[in-house]
Chain A
Amino acid sequence: MIDWARLANLLRYGFLERALGSTALHLRWYNRIAIFPGGLCLLNLAIETKNLTKTYKTSSGPQSVVKDLDLQVERGEIFGFLGPNGAGKTTTIKILLGIIDSTSGEASVLGNPAGDIESHRKLSYLPEKPYYYEHMTGMEITQFYASLFGIKDRELCERLLNRVNLGNDMNRPISQYSKGMQQRVGLAQSLLNDPELLFLDEPTGGLDPIAHIEIRDLILKFRDEGRTVFISSHELSDVERICDRVAIINKGEMVHQGRLDQLLSGGRIEITADNVSEELSAKLRNDESTVSFKAGRLIADIPDSMKPGEVIDAIRAAGGEVVSIIPRRKRLEDLFLESVAGDNVIKGRKLSKMTDDHDDHVGSGTATTTEEEVSS
């Protein structure tokens, strides 16, 4: 069986080109598709890891920071890489960039083994809270990073700095830049080599709302330009808003990976009804549902596994009037908490919120609704 994807990657990155000569060159199109005698193949994975493991020797014995991680990032997507502090995100990024070696497993970036210098010509990395040499101006910093690619094009640097809205400040020392401006310099330097793949570590961390939105919009533009963006972030609302796919890791292990819409499906349904008796509301309460009254109106938040049709029928049969039925998608925050902490912590969180936000709600089985949950 021919592994067309592998063969295509070999062609894409030149190994077969050298073997087949210039004819093979003409078979490539936009670095995305390779045509072979017998088929056409999409070169669709920007990052792939198989059983990636990183173990450190510590005084208390070997400690695995990354365990058997299987990661697939497709080309042209924004991929969110999530996990709590210490989950192994930065270690994974460092392995993918070739800054550290894995203990076992495989990692490929743009079809080459992780750390390959050829891949580095086509990728960029923006670390969390980047530091720049403070004596340099934005322009000098950009030119410095350009020189690492052998680029001496001042106009390109100017164009990129203009693109990130630093056109008027490019000749000011970096020490006078705000956090947002420094982050934008980082993005400008990360575009110097017209990268196919960008690694962004907490790109919006610590920024004011305006800078935050600007950076987020830039990232969306990167995807529109066909680039792959790999984001490691704790800003779950951003990730939910801009990412196509996410992976959540905890203690070095993959917990979830997939398209956001798929991961967040299977949510809950909010039913609002008038004229519902206490007796019926008591029946609706159980471990999975939450029931509350607001201004005399019943609000039942039930999982879609509870057969909402039966609930609606029960309300109507008891003389109640259904006012609204709102299907609610699971939030990334909920998925994240489930993934990294388990149900106990989620319940604990809800309980702690109950004590903080207690109002005129009626309690349910185990979890009580809050104003935020009702209104969201």
Chain B
Amino acid sequence: MNAVLSIAKTTIGEAIRRRVLLVILLIGVLFLVIAPGLSVLSARQNYTVLTSFTLGIIQLTSAVIAIVLTVYLLPNEVERRTIYTILSKPVYRWHFLLGKYLGAVGALAMMMLLMSTVLVLVFKIMQRDASMEDVMRLATAPIFFFVQMSLLAAVAMFFSTFVSPIVNIFLSGGVYLIGTLFSPVFQDLSNNKNLSPAVKGAATLVHTVVPNFAQYNIQSGIINRGPELRSVELYYATIVGYALIYITVFLIAGMMVFDRKEV
């Protein structure tokens, strides 16, 4: 386990110094800071627009960071030949892949923590009468975005074991879009009794294979303050468990491919 943690630590150190990621992060933070100015122009309530807009920025920025960060992790190591030095030590390939993934998630966590801190500060400045409960509710969303991005990173890590970074960007981005925008549609189709078994089967297949990223978008509940679930904790635990299962499956699949890959 020493090797996994060392590789993860090194990956974090390198990721937080990558200029392209820092530029994306900077743009995200910049939008968070100017968001209140944009909301003034809106006819809608400040709270709704500000919350919706800032959470959207964090989600989009995090998704771009997660993909750009992860798709280059393995190819860069091969290109720079560091992988040969590491794999010539008593390090299994799965150690290496897991270390890389944990490092990516660690770096992602640090960057998302920075954006979330800016979010809370901006919210507190703009919504002076907001209660602590409101702030805590707002801060919940990035936590689930982080779970979502960890799942996205696992998807990108899996693809990176057998496709090039550019292809991986499109594949991972595609899976994320389908899982975010269309997962509820496929779920409905798979449960629709009026459809033919073939269509239902296809919908079930897509719904099963493509992770449901949509369930981590909990911002609508925060924005609209609608009726609460009977057990929020249970729901949260379920979707975190769902993510852990999918992350495990994607990483094991990636390890199996990577174990046989000629680097």
Contact = CB atoms under 8 A, between A and B. Distances in A.
A193 B91 CA distance: 13
B84 to A, nearest CB: 5
A336 interface: no
B2 interface: yes
Interface stretch (A118-126, A236-244, A338-346, A349-357): A118-126
Contacts of A94: 84
Contacts of A145: 85, 89
Contacts of B26: none
B6 A147 contact: yes
Nearest to A146: B6
Contact of B90 (A121, A126, A136): A121
Contacts of A98: 87
Given A117-B92, A145-B89, A149-B89, A132 B82 contact: yes
Interface residues on B, range: 20 to 34
Contact of A131 (B81, B89, B263): B81
B262 interface: yes
B134 interface: no
Main secondary structure of the interface of B (DSSP, over half): helix
Contact of B13 (A99, A128, A136, A147): A136
A125 B87 CA distance: 9
A125 B14 contact: no
Interface in B12-57: 13-14, 17
Nearest to A152: B2
A94 B3 CA distance: 21
B84 A120 contact: no
Contacts of A129: 81
B113 to A, nearest CB: 20
Given A130-B81, A131-B80, 10 more contacts: A99-B263, A100-B262, A117-B92, A121-B90, A131-B82, A144-B6, A147-B6, A148-B6, A150-B3, A199-B88
Interface of A: 94, 97-101, 117-118, 120-121, 123-133, 135-136, 144-145, 147-150, 186, 189, 193, 199
Q: For the complex of A and B, list the 4 residue pairs with the smallest distance between their C-beta atoms, beginning with the closest.
A: A125-B88, A131-B80, A147-B6, A148-B89
